[in-house]
Amino acid sequence: MTPDYDSDRTCPGAPEILSDLINQDLLGLQQGERLWKLYCFHETGNPTGLRHRIYTKEKTDGRLALITFAVHNPQLESGDEGVECPAVRSALARVADLSQGDLDRLIRAMRNQADSDAYEEIDLSAHADLNAQLVWLRSQASS
């Protein structure tokens, strides 16, 4: 069963996801586009909180685009153990055009490589438009 999130469930990582999508504009959302699905993979027990993100959007022509990257919070050096530094992104890659079938195959391959407990899928495709999607994510970030 694929995990997804609706109005009755919480979305782990919502504040970071919102920052990625709004403040950093990592997907480069254009007029008429909307979010599709957000995928969050993480390594349990990693001291830097290493995680892999795949964010997808639906373009105005119905095709999908995505951005994928790794993110972690490196520890400060010297005597400041346990203090987290701001998140660092790496291995950023974009796919400007893909089908839903291509996306499904990519995610299936990623899940086969990842610990199944360390995977979250946030399906925003049921929300009517980008504004409704962002309202839902903001509600999750504040809870």
99-112 per-position pLDDT tens digit: 999 999 999 998 88
Domain residues for 51? Answer: 14-142
pTM of structure: 0.83
Residues of the chain with pLDDT under 70: 1-12, 75-85, 115-117
| pLDDT at residue 32, as a whole number | 95
Taking the CA atoms of 42, 92, 68 and 111 in sequence, report the sign of the dihedral they define.
negative
Q: Is residue 96 part of a domain?
A: yes
Q: Is residue 5 part of a domain?
A: no
Sole residue written with tokens 């919502």? 14
Q: Is residue 8 part of a domain?
A: no
Q: Is residue 25 part of a domain?
A: yes
| pLDDT at residue 48, as a whole number | 77
Question: What's the number of domains the chain is made of?
Answer: 1
Distance from C-alpha of 8 to C-alpha of 62, rounded to nearest angstrom:
28
